[in-house]
Amino acid sequence: MTPPRDISLGQLKGTFILEGPVNDCRPDWASLVPAGVASDSREVRAGDLFVAGPGARSHGAAFVPSALRAGAVAVLTDPSGLGVLGDVRVPILVKAGAHRLAAPIAAALWGQPAERLRLVAVTGTHGVATTAAMVHGLLASCGVRAVGVASERLTAPELHRLLASDPEATDAVAVLPAAALRRGAGVGLRPDAVAVAALHDPRPQVLASLAAEVRVLLAAARHRVILLDSDTSAHLADEFPDAVLVALPTSPHAHRATWRVTGVGADGAASTFSLHGPGGLRRTTTVGRPGALLLADAALAVVTALTGGHVDPDLAPGVPIDLPHRMEVLRRRPAVVTDRVATAAELRRVLSALPDRGRVWCVYPAAAPLERAGRLEVAQALSDCADGIVLAGSADGEAALAALRSCFTPAEAGRVHEAASVDAAVSFALSHARPEDIVLVAGCGTILRGDCPREGHT
């Protein structure tokens, strides 16, 4: 990783016109050189400048004690944050809208990495990490050295630090969910390309807010690619008429698409699809996951890589994907697939997306942290979408197993089986499955927070 530039606190004060220090602190404060910047107390490293701004529930200044324990050497906050701070001995600098300075300060310390890299930013609410991983894989397969930026809770300072992690890279692919944009992670970015994956939220006001953040990022981009899968994405397409539009044949807006997915075929281990583009262009490729769940993400990744000129138009026949527990194939005939579903809605979506080639068995961990309503919805999804259901217990999960079992009706009970563990549940399903069947192991990586059994271990 490129080390941060030696920019002193005094220089930062002059460059960004900061006030202070407003407290008694060490007399040589101006010569202090921050080792980095953090706007989340959980990300603070020793020597960092901590930027404390307003949050969704509380002001970041309330977390200054935690930041100091982690090694922060200075604090930048706004006037409202001063009323929250107690007795702090490190330098406190102040400016209205201080939280908006986290990005430019971090960019300055890390040598403006976003300006030297061709940046692809993938945003949206669903499929963002999957699409970004595929774009990164496509670039790597074409010999492009790209930084992959992904973080569970990405902030602007963390983004610039990660962008600077490989000084030899020419490109970067960043996972920038709409929620991260709302936290300011995309402030000041001018990406070479922005790809908008699925953009959904059942709460209209929240969706409108997320779409507004995505709109700002799109406006700053050189190239724009939008997955047309909802009215929200269609409205974004109206606002950016030069955007390249991608759609599955099931989309109500497919007739507007620049690139359309056709010719979908799938077996228990992979899916093949064709992309039809402008001027009669056609690309046929394969993604190493079964069913239709990842087709939209794969199509968006391919078109994004082509649109920005990041890869050779003569793509390799497959879309590289390295995402553990995301429709990951563990064995074939009968196929065993694992997915990290964590809600009933996701479970229904994954089961419905599996190829129609035989019976579908679902192994579900009864110890999943579900409320009563959640258990009922899971039971309904399993009943509607799976031919065989195996509830997997655990050493301390007998009560959870009984609670989930009780959610099935007497008519459904004949399809519901039980096993003491996930391993035993998979073994049971395989012993009853035909070669053309598919066994889905649900919840691995999220609910179980561990590995699922692989071929040779079942």
For 90-142, write each residue's pLDDT tens digit.
999 999 999 999 999 999 999 999 999 999 999 999 999 999 999 999 898 88
**Encoding tokens for residue 132?**
């970004």
- Contact by Cβ (8 Å): 253, 234: yes
The amino acid sitting at 283 is R
Mean pLDDT for the stretch of residues 423-431: 92
Query: Is the same domain home to 342 and 206?
Result: no
Say how many C-beta atoms besides its own lie within 10 A of residue 115's C-beta: 10
Mean pLDDT for the stretch of residues 385-396: 87
Decide which of 288, 319, 350 is a domain's last residue.
319
Confidence of residue 446 (pLDDT cuts 50, 70, 90): very low
Query: Is the same domain home to 177 and 234?
Result: yes
On whether residue 124 sits in a domain, the answer given is yes
Residues whose CB falls within 8 Å of the CB of residue 205, separated by 6 or more in sequence, listed in order: none
Query: Is the same domain home to 272 and 371?
Result: no
What is the CATH classification number for the domain harbouring 314?
A: 3.40.1190.10
pLDDT at 194 over 70: yes
Distance between CA atoms of residues 338 and 454, nearest Å: 10
Mean pLDDT for the stretch of residues 197-216: 93
- Contact by Cβ (8 Å): 355, 316: no
Provide the pLDDT for residue 366: 83
Query: Is the same domain home to 277 and 366?
Result: no
Query: Is the same domain home to 132 and 94?
Result: no
Residue 304 structural domain = 112-319
On whether residue 305 sits in a domain, the answer given is yes
Query: Is the same domain home to 256 and 172?
Result: yes
Torsions phi, psi for 110 (to 5 deg): -95, 15
Provide the pLDDT for residue 310: 65
Residues whose CB falls within 8 Å of the CB of residue 333, separated by 6 or more in sequence, listed in order: 268, 435, 436
Name the range with the highest mean pLDDT among 82-86, 275-279, 370-374, 426-430: 426-430
On whether residue 193 sits in a domain, the answer given is yes
pLDDT at 397 over 70: no
* CA-based end-to-end distance of the chain: 41
Decide which of 88, 108, 128 is a domain's last residue.
108
Question: What is the length of the chain?
Answer: 458
What is the average pLDDT score of the chain? 88
Instruction: Please report how many Cα atoms fall inside a 13 Å half-sphere around the Cα of residue 121, on the Cβ side.
Output: 33
25-35 per-residue burial string, b: 16 or more CB within 10 A, e: under 16: beeebeebbbe
Query: Is the same domain home to 252 and 152?
Result: yes
Query: Is the same domain home to 94 and 130?
Result: no
On whether residue 3 sits in a domain, the answer given is no
Provide the pLDDT for residue 370: 63
Query: Is the same domain home to 160 and 100?
Result: no
Q: Classify burial at 427, counting beta carbons within 10 Å of its beta carbon; exposed 0-12, middle 13-18, buried 19 or more.
A: middle
Provide the pLDDT for residue 314: 64
Mean pLDDT for the stretch of residues 427-454: 74
Summarised one tens digit per residue, pLDDT across range 42-78 is: 999 999 999 999 887 889 999 999 999 999 999 999 9
Cα 154 from chain centre:
10
Query: Is the same domain home to 88 and 146?
Result: no
pLDDT at 177 over 50: yes
Distance between CA atoms of residues 227 and 245, nearest Å: 6
Provide the pLDDT for residue 3: 59
Confidence of residue 182 (pLDDT cuts 50, 70, 90): confident
On whether residue 367 sits in a domain, the answer given is yes
Mean pLDDT for the stretch of residues 423-444: 90
Percent of residues, the chain, with pLDDT higher than 90:
56
Provide the pLDDT for residue 311: 67
What is the CATH classification number for the domain harbouring 26?
A: 3.40.1390.10
Summarised one tens digit per residue, pLDDT across range 313-363 is: 666 567 877 777 788 888 888 889 998 887 888 899 899 988 888 899 999
- The residue with tokens 């409320």 is 371
How many domains, in total, are found in the chain? 3
Say how many C-beta atoms besides its own lie within 10 A of residue 422's C-beta: 27
Distance between CA atoms of residues 134 and 395, nearest Å: 38
On whether residue 453 sits in a domain, the answer given is no
Residue scoring higher pLDDT (345 or 237): 237
- Contact by Cβ (8 Å): 391, 362: no
What is the CATH classification number for the domain harbouring 412?
A: 3.90.190.20
pLDDT at 390 over 50: yes
- Contact by Cβ (8 Å): 92, 9: no
On whether residue 448 sits in a domain, the answer given is no
Query: Is the same domain home to 149 and 285?
Result: yes
Confidence of residue 2 (pLDDT cuts 50, 70, 90): low
Query: Is the same domain home to 409 and 266?
Result: no
Cα 31 from chain centre:
39
Distance between CA atoms of residues 144 and 302, nearest Å: 15
Decide which of 319, 337, 358 is a domain's last residue.
319
The contacts found for 305-308 with CB under 8 angstroms, 24 or more apart, are 305/120, 305/135, 305/138, 305/139, 307/193, 307/223, 307/225, 307/244, 308/118, 308/120, 308/192, 308/193, 308/222, 308/223
Provide the pLDDT for residue 226: 98
On whether residue 457 sits in a domain, the answer given is no
Residues whose CB falls within 8 Å of the CB of residue 442, separated by 6 or more in sequence, listed in order: 338, 339, 341, 347, 350, 362, 363, 364, 365
Q: Supply angle C-alpha 361, 365, 367, rounded to 5.
A: 160
